[in-house]
Amino acid sequence: MLIDPFGREIGYVRISVTDRCDLRCVYCMAEHMTFLPKKDLLTLEELHRLGLTLIDQGVSRIRLTGGEPLVRRNILWLIGQLGAEVKAGRLDELTVTTNGTQLRRFAGQLFEAGVRRINVSLDTLEREKFQAITRWGRLEPVLEGVQAAKDAGLKVKINAVALKGVNEDEFDRMLAWCGAEGFDLTLIETMPLGDIEGDRTDQYLPLSRVRARLAERWTLTDIPYKTGGPARYVEVAETGGRLGFITPMTHNFCESCNRVRVTCTGTMFMCLGQEDAVDLRGPLRASESNELLESAIRDGIARKPKGHDFVIDRRRKKPAVGRHMSVTGG
């Protein structure tokens, strides 16, 4: 078991398998990003070894993310290897967060590999708006991908970042659509991570306001449902579906934080909103046995901070944390 200094059991690891992406969402990346040289990335074999070591140390849930995890070449190999740990009962769950562009191709294979739940990031159901938010994306393949995932038997959760003046008029429609399709929906506040060539104070929309507005039309009842993540859920009586709110800015969710994040270069961040990190790539490459790696993981957990201190402040033009979400892994 990995237990941090505040007594929190760390059973959940999010691993970013690439910093690259086929989209350029405005709140996540700058249009012209410089990506890491391939040699800096952990190989798929190294990611596998890291996953097994984490499982040995008591990690019970792994989420693969990015960048866009499904654009990494041969990623299905890694998913198959970690999925085998689920099938063997050594890992409770393997999940993937994706922008959905590759799902038409991969949904069936994900299910066969042992994945049962995926999160698809989708901020709008309007074609032009989708293009504006993602800069490069097309909505149709994503909607077809979501359908393919449903048909393959994957449980789909839609994640939407709440953007002031951009998609705030759509939450009613998205809630209805998710309800009809049997998808849960989670709304997320923008976080000040990485330079994005724009002003985040213009995008930030507090979810307390969104919830109050939705409550005028829908019957929302707080429920204790937990997926191990930071979302707080309500049940939507009219659809029978669930609606989650991730509110890092308006509500500090750190006290129950059970996770750490590993970047595609093997840097473990103990908190999304802090700079402290430990290098796992060095220990992975230094020896074939896992002792150094295990000890680096334990050192990191022993330094996990109590929480973040994000602020989106008009006077402070710099992001709270310099690295982009696509590096740390959302």
- Which residues make up the interface to ligand SF4 (CB under 6 A)? 21, 23-25, 28-29, 66-68, 99, 121, 326
As a whole number of angstroms, the distance between CA 256 and CA 9 comes to: 9
Select from ligand SAM, ligand SF4, none the partner in contact with residue 83, using the beta carbon and a kind-dependent cut-off of 5 to 8 Å.
Answer: none
Structure-token pair, residue 201: 């104070």
**How many chain residues bind ligand SAM (CB under 6 A)?**
19
Structure-token pair, residue 236: 């939507």
Cβ-contact 189, 207 below 8 angstroms: yes
Shortest spacing between CB 237 and ligand SF4, in angstroms? 31
From residue 38 to residue 67, the character string flagging contacts with ligand SAM as x (rule: CB under 6 A) and all else as - is ---------------------------xx-
Cβ-contact 70, 20 below 8 angstroms: no
SS3 3: strand
Sign of the Cα torsion 173, 176, 179, 184 reads positive
Shortest spacing between CB 161 and ligand SF4, in angstroms? 8
- Across 27-154, the runs of DSSP E, i.e. the strands, are 61-65, 93-98, 117-121
CB nearer to ligand SF4: give 57 or 267: 267
**H-helix or E-strand spanning residue 48:** helix 44-56
Give the other-Cβ count within 10 Å of 131's Cβ: 14
As a whole number of angstroms, the distance between CA 324 and CA 330 comes to: 9
Q: Look at phi and psi of residue 51 and say left if phi exceeds 0, alpha if psi is from -120 to 50, else beta.
A: alpha
Shortest spacing between CB 290 and ligand SAM, in angstroms? 28
Select from ligand SF4, ligand SAM, none the partner in contact with residue 61, using the beta carbon and a kind-dependent cut-off of 5 to 8 Å.
Answer: none
As a whole number of angstroms, the distance between CA 272 and CA 328 comes to: 7
Residue from 121, 124, 263, 267 touching ligand SAM (CB under 6 A): that is 121
Q: Of 51, 126, 48, 134, give the one whose Cα is nearest residue 326.
A: 134
Select from ligand SAM, ligand SF4, none the partner in contact with residue 79, using the beta carbon and a kind-dependent cut-off of 5 to 8 Å.
Answer: none
Relative orientation angle of helices 127-134 and 139-152, to the nearest 10 degrees: 100
Shortest spacing between CB 285 and ligand SAM, in angstroms? 25
Shortest spacing between CB 142 and ligand SF4, in angstroms? 10
Select from ligand SAM, ligand SF4, none the partner in contact with residue 174, using the beta carbon and a kind-dependent cut-off of 5 to 8 Å.
Answer: none
Q: Does 98 bind ligand SAM (CB under 6 A)?
A: yes
Residues shown for the chain: 330
Shortest spacing between CB 86 and ligand SF4, in angstroms? 24
Q: Look at phi and psi of residue 182 and say left if phi exceeds 0, alpha if psi is from -120 to 50, else beta.
A: left
Q: Does 244 bind ligand SAM (CB under 6 A)?
A: no
Binding to ligand SAM (CB under 6 A): which residues in 163-192? 188, 190-191
Residue from 143, 148, 193, 272 touching ligand SAM (CB under 6 A): that is 193
Shortest spacing between CB 297 and ligand SF4, in angstroms? 25
CB nearer to ligand SF4: give 140 or 309: 140
- Residue ranges in contact with ligand SAM by CB under 6 A: 21, 27-28, 65-66, 68, 97-99, 121, 159, 161, 188, 190-191, 193, 325-326, 330
